[in-house]
Amino acid sequence: DFPVEIAPLARETNALIDTNREIVERARTHVGNLAHAIKTPLSVIVNEAAAHAADPFATKVLEQADVMRDQVAHHLERARMAARLTVIGTVTEVAPVIDALRRTMEKIHRDRGIAIEVDADAQARFRGERQDLEEMAGNLVDNACKWAASRVFIEVLLERPVAPGAGPMLRIIVDDDGRGLSSAERAQVSRRGQRLDESKPGSGLGLSIVVDLAALYGGSLSLGHAPIGGLRAELLLPGV
């Protein structure tokens, strides 16, 4: 219950929140319907082209169909992310998420003997959904494990606000000891569907999804040179 003076404002605010939630949900549904409607004819095109794989034209069709599939997957992911971001006030502890990712990735990459070290601030918390944090950090750690020679290092820092009225920021740093990337290559892999090595599994959407999802939270992803020799991925997100 609210005082009589502000009750009308409270009702209008609640109505606005409900309306925005409905708009996002409708948009998400429309994007999903469109994407699924495209998938079926795309599959038919791919199957027909694959039956004539020796034909250069069929090869080109297969190549462009893969691009279209990636774009469909990307926009479905964006719609799903936007819908989840309607949840207000959600807070996620970071250390348990990172530790779970470490255990999972060590199992996935067991055959290569990748050592994953973690140094996480136990007090670090993310102002957002656990599933989103798992997706962003998971993409970065998985990418690091794919390219690492033998070692991946993950650091989690909670940076206190330096300006009045600003909130704390969460910084997740993922380093690997692989070959690293040049400046041009770092710019390329952040774009949707771009991969430098086709022998590595994946659609090429991983880093671009991290960029998009971080931006929706007001954060960012930057790539640089890791002190241990490979690539450094630095994810900045709102903390608590």
156 touches 121 (CB < 8 A): yes
126 touches 91 (CB < 8 A): yes
How far is residue 120's CA from residue 234's CA, in Å, rounded to a whole number? 14
pLDDT given at position 152: 97
Last residue of a domain, one of 84, 109, 136: 84
Residues 73 and 124 in one domain: no
Range of the domain at 227: 92-238
pLDDT given at position 176: 96
Number of domains in the chain: 2
pLDDT tens, per residue, the chain with 240 residues = 678 888 888 888 888 878 877 776 777 677 777 777 787 788 888 888 888 888 899 989 988 888 788 777 777 776 666 666 555 567 899 999 999 999 999 998 888 989 999 999 999 999 988 888 998 999 999 999 999 999 999 999 999 887 777 789 999 999 999 988 888 888 777 665 454 444 344 444 568 888 888 988 889 999 999 999 999 999 999 998
Residues 68 and 141 in one domain: no
pLDDT given at position 197: 43
Last residue of a domain, one of 49, 84, 119: 84
61 touches 45 (CB < 8 A): yes
pLDDT given at position 124: 95
pLDDT given at position 27: 73
Residues 103 and 183 in one domain: yes
Residues 50 and 166 in one domain: no
Residues 36 and 150 in one domain: no
Residues 72 and 171 in one domain: no
The pTM score is 0.68
Residues 135 and 212 in one domain: yes
CATH of the domain at 106: 3.30.565.10
pLDDT given at position 200: 47
pLDDT given at position 57: 92
147 touches 180 (CB < 8 A): no
pLDDT given at position 206: 65
Residues 152 and 136 in one domain: yes
Cα-based distances in Å from 110 to 37, 85, 102, 105, 155? 39, 34, 12, 8, 21
How far is residue 40's CA from residue 65's CA, in Å, rounded to a whole number? 12
Is residue 1 a part of any domain in this protein?
no
pLDDT given at position 87: 54
Residues 118 and 207 in one domain: yes
CA 141 from centroid of its chain's CA atoms:
11
Residues 119 and 14 in one domain: no
Is residue 2 a part of any domain in this protein?
no
Residues 195 and 134 in one domain: yes
